[in-house]
Amino acid sequence: MNNQPRRAIVMGASVAGLWTARILADHFDEVLILERDSLPEGPEPRPGVPQSRQYHIMLLKGLQLMDDLFPGLREELIEAGAIPFDTLNDVAVRSRGNWLPRFPSTQYLLSCSRLLLEAGMRRHLRRCDRVRFVENVNMTGLETDGGAQRITGVHVTHRDGNDRAATFSADLVVDALGRRSPTPEWLTALGYDAPAESSVNSFLGYVTRRYRIPDKFQADWRMLMLLATPPDQPRGGLIFPEENGVWCVMMAGANKDYPPTDDDGFVEFARSLGTEFFRAVQDAEPLAQAYGYRGTESRRRHYEKLTRWPDRYVVIGDAFCGFNPIYGQGMTVAAISAVAMGDAIRRAGGNLDGLAQPLLRQISAITDGAWLLATSADKDWPETVGGAQKEGLADRFGAWYIGQLLDAMSKDPMLRLAFLEVNQLVKPAASLFAPGVMLRVFRQGLAHR
**With bands split at pLDDT 50, 70 and 90, how would you rate the model's confidence at 399?**
confident
233-272 in b/e form (b: 16+ CB < 10 A) is ebbbbbbbbbbeebbbbbbbbbbebbbbbeeeebeebbee
Mean pLDDT of 185-209: 96
Does some domain include residue 232? yes
Number of Cα atoms under 13 Å in the Cβ half of residue 338:
31
Read off the pLDDT band of 332 (50, 70, 90).
Answer: very high
Residue 163 forms part of a structural domain: yes
The DSSP symbol for 290 reads -
Tell whether 142 and 40 lie within a shared domain. yes
Asked if 98 and 214 sit in the same domain, the reply is yes
In the listed set 274, 293, 312, which residue is the last one of a domain according to the structure? 293
Task: Show the domain range for 235.
Answer: 81-110+203-293
Q: Give the pLDDT score at 388.
A: 59
Do 184 and 132 reside in the same domain of the chain? Answer: yes
Per-residue pLDDT of 114-128, as tens digits, reads 999 999 999 999 999
Residue 192 falls within a domain, yes or no? yes
Decide which of 375, 403, 434 is a domain's last residue: 375
Residue 73 located in a structural domain: no
- Residue 48: pLDDT band (50, 70, 90) is confident
CATH code of residue 281 = 3.30.9.100
Domain tally, the chain: 3
Q: Are 352 and 172 in contact (CB under 8 A)?
A: yes
Question: 172 and 91, same structural domain?
Answer: no
Q: What count of other Cβ atoms lies within 10 Å of the Cβ of residue 342?
A: 18
Q: Say whether both 319 and 435 belong to one domain.
A: no
Q: Is 174 or 398 the better-scoring residue by pLDDT?
A: 174
Shared domain check, 274 and 211:
yes
Give the 3-state secondary structure of residue 227.
Answer: coil
Are residue 263 and residue 286 in the same domain, yes or no? yes
- Strand, coil or helix: what is 234? coil
* 216 plus 308 within the same structural domain: no
Burial (0-12, 13-18, 19+ Cβ within 10 Å), 107: middle
Per-residue pLDDT, averaged over 194-223, amounts to: 94
pLDDT at residue 1 greater than cutoff 50? no
Here the contacts of 283-287 (C-beta below 8 Å, separation 24 or greater) are 283/214, 283/217, 284/211, 284/212, 284/213, 284/214, 284/217, 284/247, 284/249, 285/211, 285/212, 285/214, 286/209, 286/210, 286/211, 287/210, 287/211, 287/212, 287/246
User: Does 54 reside within a domain?
Assistant: no
Residue 229 carries which DSSP code?
A: B
| Residue 124: inside a domain | yes
- Inside any domain, residue 155: yes
Lowest mean pLDDT across 206-220, 362-376, 383-397: 383-397
With contact defined as beta carbons under 8 Å apart, do 409 and 44 qualify? no
Q: Is 74 within a domain? A: no
Same domain, 36 and 132: yes
Among candidates 414, 416, 418, 411, which has minimal Cα distance to 445? 411
CATH code where residue 16 lies: 3.50.50.60
Do 124 and 29 reside in the same domain of the chain?
yes
The whole model's pTM is what? 0.94
Residue 220 shares a structural domain with residue 367: no
- pLDDT above 70 coverage of the chain, percent: 97
What average pLDDT does this structure show over 171-183?
Answer: 97
pLDDT in tens, 129-161: 999 999 999 999 999 998 899 999 999 999 987
- CA–CA separation, 54 and 41 (whole Å): 20
Regarding whether 303 and 179 lie in a shared domain, the answer is: yes
Between the alpha carbon of residue 342 and those of residues 19, 121, 309, the distances in Å are 11, 18, 20
Question: Residue 82 in contact with residue 73, Cβ under 8 Å?
Answer: no
Please give the helix or strand (H or E) that residue 207 lies within, else none: strand 205-212
| Domain finish residue from 293, 327, 351 | 293
